[in-house]
Amino acid sequence: MIIFNISLATIIAGIMAAAATMAQPVYPYDPLCGYNVHTGYYVSGGQQFAYGTMDAAYGCAVNGSLPDFVKQRLAEYGDKDAKSMAEEIKEVNVEKNKVDK
């Protein structure tokens, strides 16, 4: 009886784990940048976040793929240092696009 209960519990746990994996939504995102191409949300580790980080934005900029919606809200509510960093990130993006053309 105990062996049956353990086996049944193992089977149920396996089914639940498989169902949870299948239920994960797929978010379309730019693989060079990590932002959802439709919503502007940041995608990382299979999860979607309302905002990315300055590091994520910089990663987009070095590829020349900083999305317009990120440019618009980058350091929108930040202090003077954050706003300065945001301008540097935007400039890196502009320079990368000049080099690629």
Question: E strands of 1-101, at which residues?
Answer: 42-44, 47-49
**Domain residue spans in the chain?**
25-100
- The counts of H helices and E strands in the chain are 4, 2
Instruction: Say how far apart CA 5 and CA 8 lie, in whole Å.
Output: 5
What does the pLDDT average to over 43-59?
Answer: 89
What's the pLDDT at 10? 67
**49, two tokens:** 């976040």
> CA–CA distance from 97 to each of 8, 91, 100 (Å)?
58, 10, 5
The predicted model scores a pTM of 0.67
pLDDT tops 90 at residue 89? yes
